[in-house]
Amino acid sequence: MIGLGAGGIAVGASLQTGVNRALAPVRGLGDVLPAAGGFRYYSVVGSVRERTADEYRLAVSGMVGRTRAFTIPELGALKQTQVTRDFQCVTGWRVPGVAWAGVALPDLLDAVGASPEATAVRFRSFDGVYSESLTMEQARRPDVLIATRMLGGPVTHDHGGPVRLFVAPMYGYKSLKWLGAIEVTDKVVSGYWERRGYDVDAWVGRSNGRDDEPT
């Protein structure tokens, strides 16, 4: 956790070496065989048990009016939002113009009655290991999606389906795969890669994203 933030080109390069080293042994395949469209499939655990669309539930708890577990049809009944954006991994690969669809996080937060006192949102993967957090200000952006569709079809298991996060303005590591639970909370907790040296605020190409226009 050395010298993150401003002036981080040299620092970023060494961290990038770190992430490549860390990713390669657990998921060598992704590094060797780029997936169709230029994606690499990443998982920090060896294999993740597939959840069918029928059995899937998204638990939303914490500082909410009512704890809920959303089925896929229930997510589908909420307002649907589409976002098309480049997908950028911090290690360097990028997939241009990926189309995503699902529930914008602000709409989900409204649906559960997120408390105005809450200042952060935490996400957990059903892989049992990976987690991520956003500040409430970040989570309220309309280009942060609870994604159920990508590239014109359902989110496949290898891409973190049936439901994953897509944080459009940030590096790929914020876009948690196999989303299992969301907790509305009052503190930002460092996620998997952030405990290993990456910025919690992972804006692509700028120090903050407040001037970015969502599409």
Ligand X SMILES: Nc1nc2c(c(=O)[nH]1)N[C@H]1C(S)=C(S)[C@@H](COP(=O)(O)O)O[C@H]1N2
Q: Which residues bind Mo ion (CB under 5 A)?
A: 89, 172-173
How near is the Cβ of 209 to Mo ion at its closest, in Å?
Answer: 18
C-beta closer to Mo ion: residue 23 or 108: 23
Q: Give residue number: closest CB to Mo ion.
A: 89
Q: How far is the CB of 39 from ligand X (least distance, A)?
A: 4
Joined together, the tokens standing for residue 123 give 């996400």
For ligand X, the closer of residues 70 and 87 by Cβ is 87
Residues of the shown chain interacting with ligand X in the complex, contacts defined by CB under 6 A: 39-44, 89, 125, 127, 130, 159-160, 172-173, 175-178
Smallest separation, CB 90 to ligand X (Å): 7
| Phi, psi angle pair for 13, to nearest 5° | -65, -40
In whole angstroms, how close is the CB of 18 to ligand X at the nearest point? 12
Q: Residue 44's binding partner, choosing from Mo ion, ligand X, none, with beta-carbon cut-off 5 to 8 A by kind?
A: ligand X
Nearer to ligand X, 56 or 130 (CB): 130
100's contact among ligand X, Mo ion, none, with CB below 5 to 8 A by partner kind, is none
User: Considering CB distances under 5 to 8 angstroms, the limit depending on partner class, which of ligand X, Mo ion, none binds residue 160?
Assistant: ligand X
